Structure 1
Amino acid sequence: MRLLRLVLSGLAVLTYAATGRTDDLPPAGRPIESVVDQFVDAKMAADKVTPAELADDATLVRRLTLDLVGRIPTVGETDAYLKSTDADKRTKLIDRLMASTAFDRHQAIQFDVMLNGELARQGRGSVRDYLTQAMKDRKPWDQIFRELMLPGDTDATKAAGEFLRARVTDADKMTNDVSVAFFGVNVSCAQCHDHPLVKDWKQDHFFGMKSFLARTYEAGNFVAERDAGVVKFKPIKGPEKTAKLMFLTGAVVETDTLRELSKDEQKKEKEAADKKKDKTATAAPPRPKFSAREKLVEVALQPKEAEFFSRSIVNRLWHRFFGSGLVNPLDQMHSENPASHPDLLKWLARDLAAHKYDLRRLVRGIVMSKAYSRDSRYSSESRPEDKYFAVAKLKPLTPQQLATSLKIATTDPKSFEGLKESEFEKRIEQAEQAGRGLASLIAQPTDNFQIGVAEALLFSNGDRVAKEYLTDGGGTLLAAAKAAKEPTDAVALLVRTSMARPAGDDEVKALTAYATERKDRAADAYKQILWALVTCPEFRFCH
C-alpha cells in the first residue's frame, strides 16, 4: 500500500509538470511542506527552471530567527546550530522558536501591520495588544476574525474593537479595509461603477459588503450596531438601488431590516452615541436583534463561501515568508488574476480550513519546506521570475525587526550566555522594548522597498543610533571588542555578533588592516567597523 501511494504521488507530480494541473489535489493529511515542495518543484520542472542551492546553515538560522521571532540570532544560538550534527536540528530550531513568547509578540506585530498598515503607525486602529494575547492563547484565524468583527465587552475582546473604531466614521473605507484584510479583495473600484477591468466586481458587491458594515457606530468605549439600516446607491444607468446584504461571492442574506431607523430608534442611538463623551462607561450597548456584521461573519465562514477567507490568509502568510505572494498584488484575488500555483493555493486553503484555521500549523509547514530554504544567491545573472520561488527573495527588515536586531548585534554576546530559558526570554523582550523608540522612526517596508531619505539620514548623520547602539559601556559589543587581545579577535567578534555568521578570511584581513592602521585610536576604529556592519545591505535584509 505504501508503494502504491508513492507511485500515485509520483504520477501526480508528472501530471502537474506536463499539464500545469492535477486532476485531484493531494490527499488531506499530507505534511504541508511536502505538498508545497511537490507543486513548486513541479512548476519549475515544467518550465525548465533550475532552482538555487539550499541556503547554508548560518543563513538559514538567521532567516528562521528573523521570520519567526523578529530578530537576528545571538552568537550562542548561531554557534549551537552550526556545530550541531543532529539530523533534526532544523525541526528542533523551528519548534523552539515557535514555542517562545517572542513568537507570539512578533506575529502580533506582523498581523497588526497586515490589518492596519499606516493606520497602526498613526496610532489608530492598532489591535496589537489584542493580537498578542490571541497569539498566546493560540486562537485560530476564524476566531480572531470573528472577535475583530464582533468585539465583546470583556477585556480580552473589547480591545479588538479598535479595528472597527478607527474606521467607524467612514463606512466606505471600512468596507474596503475589511474586504482587503480578510478576503484579499479591493472592491473600491466598484464603488462608483462596475469595475472597468475585472468582471467579477460590480457595484452590487461593494454596496453589498457595505450593507453588512454601515450600521456600525461608536458608543463610548464600545463599537455598537444599529438594529436596522439601508444603503442606497446610484448605478451609472437606471434608478437608485437599495443594496442587499451580499457577500463577495454573490451570496445574499435575506432580512427585513433594510429600512431607515424609526424616530424612537434614532433617539436611542443618539443616547448611545452621547456616551462617547463618557469614556469611563463599562456597560456595552445592547446587541441588535439582527446583527448584519454577525451575518457577514457567518456567511464568510460557510464552507461554500470561505474560499476567499482561507485563500487570503494563506496568500498573505506565503507573501510574508517568501517575499512574494502566490497571488500578487495581495488585494487582487479574482478570476482575472490567477495564482502562480492555483492548485497549491487551493490545497493550502482547504487544509487550513480542515485544521480549524490553525495559523501555527500553516507557518510551521511553510518554513519547513525546501522551497523556503533556498539560497538568495543564484548561479547566473539571469534569475528566475519570483513566481517560481526558485531562489529566495531579499526581504527588508520591518522597523521592529531592525531595531531589535540592532540591539542584539551591538550587545556583548556573553550577556546572553548561561541564562535559563526564562531569563533568556526576558533578555530578548528587553531588547525588543529598547528598540521600540527607534522602530517608530523607520518606515514600514513595501514590496517595492527603497530606503528613504529619513532612514538614511538617521543612520548616517543622526546621533541617536550612535548614542543608543554604538557606545562602549559595560555589556556592549564595543566594550568586548576593546578588551580583545588582538585586532583579529576583535574583528572576528564584531562580524560574528552583528552578521550572525563567522567572519570570512577576506573580511578579517581587510578589517584587521583598517584597525591596525588606527591602533592609536582602536576604540574609534572598532566603532566605525561596527557602524559599517550594521548599516550594510546584508544586515538590512533577511536573505
Structure 2
Amino acid sequence: MRVLRFLGVSLVAFVGLPAPALNAALGAPVPAKLEVLPAKATLFGPQASQRLVVIGTFADGSRLDLTADAQFAVGDPKVAAVDPRGFLHPVADGKAEVLIRVGSVEARVPVEVSGAVSPRQVSFRNEIQPVLTKLGCNQGSCHGSQHGKGGFRLSLLGFEAEPDYTAIVKSAEGRRVTPFAPEESLLLLKPTLSVAHGGGKRMEPGSPESELLKLWLEQGAPAPSRDDPIVTGISVFPTQRRMEPGQEQRLIALARFSDGTTRDVTDQAKFDPLNEGVAKVGPTGLATTVGQGETNLMVRYQGHAALARVTVPYAYEKSFDFPAHNILDEKVATKWRELGLVPSGLSTDAEFLRRAMLDTIGTTPSRSELEDFLADTDPAKRAKLIDRLLDRPEYVDFWSLKWGDLLRIDGTKLGAQGMLAFNLWLRDAFRANKPVSAMVDELITAQGSIYTNGPANYFRVATGPDDLAETTAQVFMGVRLQCAKCHHHPFEAYGQDDYYGLAAYFARIKTKQSQEFGLFGREQVIYVAKTGEVGQPRTGKTMKPTPLGDEAADDPVDRRRALARWLTASNNPWLARNVVNRYWGYLLGKGLVNPIDDLRETNPPSNPDLLDALAQEFVAGGFDLKKLLRLILNSRVYQLSSLPNPDNRLDTTFFTHYRVKRLTAEQLLDAINLATGTFEKFPLKPAGTRAIALPDTNYPSYFLDTFGRPERALACECERASDPTMSQALHLMNGDLINRKLTQADGRLTRLLRDPRLTDETLVETLYVVTFNRLPSPQENEAARQLIVDAPSRALGAQDLFWGLLNSKEFLFNH
C-alpha cells in the first residue's frame, strides 16, 4: 500500500477545510507512529525560533511529511509558544514539552529556553551576511564578483565580515545606509526595487529579510565583533528520505556555534538540489520529488554545508539473482534493492575478454587469445585471465600512460632527459608494483638532480608553493583547491588560510643549476632551503604548514616529510578515496564521485557505502594497485553485460549494466594498427612502438590529438577529451589513416587477399575477429559475404567491409 493516493475522489466539497479535517473527511490512513525533528528544541535569545517537522510512519513502512496535518501545543505556555505551522518561539527561560498529534497518534519533544529576556541585538556576521547571501547579493554574478557591481563590492558569499561591513556602512560616504531613517536606506530600497536596481527585485517590502535589515539599521547598524560566535558546522533534518514522485518534505537547517548554542537557520540557509531531475527544493527548504532515482539536497550557511539524501525508487519489491563475488557486489546490490533496480545479466566471455584487456593493458585481444579463452572450460578462467593481464608488460605501458597524464610528464617543460627520467621512474614503480603510498611519499619529498632522480621533476612540473599546493591537493586528494587562493571556496569549508597553510609545505623548495652533465646540459637540482615561508595575502599572517582540514604539522629536517606522513597514513581517508574513485571511474566508465577528481562534501558519492568499502580494502591491502584492480575486475558488477534491461534502462548512475565508453586516443590507434596489421612510426622511437608506450604527449600525431590526447598542461582529468566530435567522425570515415592502412601493401587485408585458398566466409570471420574480437553471427556473415560479392571487385568489397567495421560503434567503444 502507498498512502495518500486518493484516486477518483472529488475534492470540491472539501474546499476550505483545514488539512487535518480534509484528511479525516477523505479517510486518510493514520500513521503507526510519529517522528519529530529535531528530537529536542533549544531556543537561545529573544529572536530564536525553531520549526518542527513531523514524519509519520505507516503500517506498510512508508513515511510521509505530516507537518501540515499535525496539531501542536506547548505544555507550559509560559515558557514557549508554538504556532499552527510548528514554529516554536521563546516566552521565558525554562523547560517545557511540545505535544504533537496527528489523529490519535501523539509524540512529545522537549524544549529548553534560555536568554529569552536578554536584549535583542542583530548580528551582522551571523544574521545580516547570511541574508545577503540568500538574496544573492554577494554571488559571483553580482556584488560578490571580483570588481563588484555599480561600485559596490562584497566578499564572495559573505566570508569576510569586516570588509563587507565597511563596504555597506562606511564606503561611498555612507550613502547605502541611513540609520536615523532606515526606510530611506539604499540597502532596503534597492533590493525591494523601490528605486532602480540592476540586480532586480530580491525581496518584498515587509518580508522577514526586509524586517531584519530594517531592525539592524534601527539599532544603529552595529559592526561585527571579534566576540561574535562563529559557525562550527550545520546539520539538516531529515538526513535522508525515501519518497515517491510528487511528494513533499520540509527540511530544517540547524547551525552549531562556537559558544555551544544551536540555532534554526532554515530561513537564512541556501538550499540547492544536486539533481533537479529527481527533486527540487525551494528557498524555504520545501523539497518536492519530480522523478525517479536518488539525489542530495545541499544546504549552505556561512561557509558550511550539509546534505539530505532523497531516494525515489524506480520500482518496489523487485527481486533478482545476483551471486556476489566480493564485498563490492554486496554494496551495489544493496543500493539496487533500495532503488528497485534489476541488474543486467553477465557479459559473454568474448565481451569480458575484450573489456578486461582494454581496461587493464589498453590492448585488444588477438585471434589466438580469443580462441583459447573461449575454449577454456575452467570456471575460474576469468580470474586467471586477470592475473595474467596484470603480469604482462603492456600493464606497465598502459598505467604509466595514465599516471603520466596525472603527473604531467611532458618533455616541453621538463626537457627530454628530465621527461625520460620521470617516465622511467614511473615505469619502474609499476613494474615493481610499488604501493601508491610509497610513490606519493617519494614524489612529495623528492630532491636532487632532475636527470638522475625522476620524482624530482614533480617540482618542475609544478613550480612555486601555490602551484604545488594545488597540484598536490588535486592529484593525491582529488580536491580542487584553486578557488580558495583568492576567496573562501563556495562549495567547501576551505578558505585562504587552508590554501596557504598547505602551500607553506613547499615554501623552502628551491632550484639550482648544475654542470654535472656539462656546461650546456641544463641539469637542475631540487633542494630544500633552510628558510622560506608563505604569507596569507589578506591578513599578512605567516602561515604554519598545515594539512587540509587538520592541525599544523611540521618536520625539523624537511617539512614536506610531515605532509607525506599525513597524506599516506592509513587512517587518513583522502589518498585512498581519491585513488579508488579514479580507478573505479577508469574501469566502470564513471566514478562513484563525478568528476572523478572533485571529491568534496557537496559532491557526494552515488554509493557512499561502496566508496567506503573500496577505500578500506585498498588501505588494508597496503595501497597495492594490482590488488585494487583485481578486486574491481573480479567483481560481478564489473562483469555485467552492457545491454540494459527493461528494469534498468533509465539508470545512468548505479552500475546496473556496464557503462559503454569510447576508446582513448592511444587505445584506438593501437586497436586500428592491430586490426589492420600495420604500425605508426613515431620520431626517435623504434618501429612498432605502440601509442600506449609513448613516454609523453609530444610525439607528433594528428590522429592522437584529434581523439583527445591531452597536452599535460593541467592536473585535471578533464584535460583528456572523451566526448566524440565531428572532426573525429570525419577523420575515421574520410581521413588518410584508415584508408591508407586498408590498402597498405604489407597490411593485413592485402596479405589475406593474396591467399588464393581464402574463402569469403573465412575472410569475413577474420575481419570480425580482429575488429569486434568475436565471431560473426550467421546472419552477419551472410550479409558481409553478399557485400563482397556485389562489389566491383573482391578487393573493393573487402575494403568496404573492413572500413565499415573499423567505423562501427562496436569497434570504437569498450563494451
Q: Structure 2 length normalisation: TM-score?
A: 0.53
- Structure showing the higher helix proportion among its residues: 1
Query: How do residues 322-471 of structure 1 correspond to structure 2 at under 5 angstroms?
Result: 322-380=588-646, 383-411=649-677, 438=701, 440-441=704-705, 442-444=707-709, 449-467=722-740, 469-471=741-743
* Residue of structure 2 equivalent to 1:528: 800
Secondary structure of the 1:189 match is: helix
Change (3 A) 1:448 1:137: closer
Change (3 A) 1:166 1:129: same
Change (3 A) 1:433 1:368: closer
Question: Alignment identity in percent?
Answer: 26
Question: Structure 2 CA distance, aligned partners of 1:326 and 1:186?
Answer: 17
Secondary structure of the 1:252 match is: coil
Give ranges in structure 2 of 5+ residues lacking alignment: 1-240, 243-293, 295-308, 310-323, 514-523, 679-685, 711-717
Displacement, 1:462? Answer: 2.9
Question: Structure 2 CA distance, aligned partners of 1:364 and 1:376?
Answer: 20
Change (3 A) 1:409 1:197: same
Displacement, 1:347? Answer: 2.6
Change (3 A) 1:384 1:431: same
Change (3 A) 1:234 1:511: same
* Residue of structure 1 equivalent to 2:529: 226
Question: Structure 2 CA distance, aligned partners of 1:91 and 1:331?
Answer: 29
Do residues 295 (structure 1) and 598 (structure 2) align? no
* Residue of structure 2 equivalent to 1:253: 553
Opposite residue 795 of structure 2, the aligned amino acid is A
Displacement, 1:60? Answer: 0.5
* Residue of structure 2 equivalent to 1:130: 425
Question: Structure 2 CA distance, aligned partners of 1:488 and 1:533?
Answer: 16
Displacement, 1:120? Answer: 4.4
Displacement, 1:105? Answer: 1.4
Change (3 A) 1:343 1:382: closer
Opposite residue 63 of structure 1, the aligned amino acid is R
Do residues 165 (structure 1) and 460 (structure 2) align? yes
Question: Structure 1 CA distance, aligned partners of 2:659 and 2:411?
Answer: 26
Do residues 139 (structure 1) and 431 (structure 2) align? no
Question: Structure 2 CA distance, aligned partners of 1:358 and 1:171?
Answer: 30
Change (3 A) 1:458 1:232: same
Question: Structure 2 CA distance, aligned partners of 1:474 and 1:456?
Answer: 26
Root mean square deviation, CA, Å: 3.1
Question: Structure 2 CA distance, aligned partners of 1:323 and 1:114?
Answer: 17
Change (3 A) 1:344 1:450: closer
Question: Structure 1 CA distance, aligned partners of 2:598 and 2:693?
Answer: 36
Question: Structure 1 CA distance, aligned partners of 2:623 and 2:349?
Answer: 31
- Correspondence for 2:477 among 168, 183, 187: 183
Q: Structure 1 length normalisation: TM-score?
A: 0.77
* Residue of structure 1 equivalent to 2:275: none
Do residues 240 (structure 1) and 543 (structure 2) align? no
Change (3 A) 1:497 1:164: same
- Correspondence for 1:495 among 763, 768, 774: 768
Change (3 A) 1:450 1:81: same
Q: Residues 102-127 of structure 1, C-alpha deviation per residue, up to 9 Å, x if partnerless? A: 111111111222333xx749666964
- Correspondence for 2:491 among 177, 184, 197: 197
Displacement, 1:390? Answer: 0.8
Question: Structure 1 CA distance, aligned partners of 2:812 and 2:748?
Answer: 21
* Residue of structure 2 equivalent to 1:6: none
Query: How do residues 270-309 of structure 1 correspond to structure 2 at under 5 angstroms?
Result: 290-304=557-571, 306-309=572-575
Question: Structure 2 CA distance, aligned partners of 1:218 and 1:458?
Answer: 44
The question of whether the paired residues in 2 share the 8 Å contact of 1:208 and 1:246 is answered with yes
Change (3 A) 1:121 1:322: farther
Displacement, 1:155? Answer: 8.8
Displacement, 1:542? Answer: 0.9
Do residues 505 (structure 1) and 778 (structure 2) align? yes
The question of whether the paired residues in 1 share the 8 Å contact of 2:738 and 2:803 is answered with no
More off after superposition, 189-198 vs 382-391: 382-391
More off after superposition, 136-145 vs 209-218: 209-218
Question: Structure 2 CA distance, aligned partners of 1:179 and 1:76?
Answer: 45
More off after superposition, 33-42 vs 403-412: 403-412
Give ranges in structure 1 of 5+ residues lacking alignment: 1-17, 22-31, 256-288, 413-425
- Structure showing the higher strand proportion among its residues: 2
Change (3 A) 1:481 1:448: same
Displacement, 1:149? Answer: 1.6
Question: Structure 1 CA distance, aligned partners of 2:619 and 2:451?
Answer: 24
* Residue of structure 2 equivalent to 1:272: none
Change (3 A) 1:195 1:91: same
Opposite residue 517 of structure 1, the aligned amino acid is D
- Correspondence for 1:40 among 322, 332, 345: 332
Q: Residues 382-403 of structure 1, C-alpha deviation per residue, up to 9 Å, x if partnerless? A: 6243331111111221222112
Displacement, 1:98? Answer: 0.9
Question: Structure 1 CA distance, aligned partners of 2:610 and 2:454?
Answer: 35
- Correspondence for 2:508 among 204, 207, 215: 215
Displacement, 1:242? Answer: 2.0
The question of whether the paired residues in 2 share the 8 Å contact of 1:71 and 1:402 is answered with no
Do residues 148 (structure 1) and 454 (structure 2) align? no
Displacement, 1:37? Answer: 0.5
Displacement, 1:154? Answer: 7.9
Change (3 A) 1:120 1:454: farther
* Residue of structure 2 equivalent to 1:79: 371
More off after superposition, 148-157 vs 528-537: 148-157
Higher relative contact order (CA 8 A, sep 6+): 1
Question: Structure 2 CA distance, aligned partners of 1:42 and 1:529?
Answer: 45
Secondary structure of the 1:245 match is: coil
Secondary structure of the 2:653 match is: helix
Question: Structure 1 CA distance, aligned partners of 2:348 and 2:432?
Answer: 34
* Residue of structure 2 equivalent to 1:99: 391
Secondary structure of the 1:224 match is: strand
The question of whether the paired residues in 2 share the 8 Å contact of 1:230 and 1:243 is answered with yes
Change (3 A) 1:481 1:364: farther
Q: Residues 266-295 of structure 1, C-alpha deviation per residue, up to 9 Å, x if partnerless? A: xxxxxxxxxxxxxxxxxxxxxxx7322222
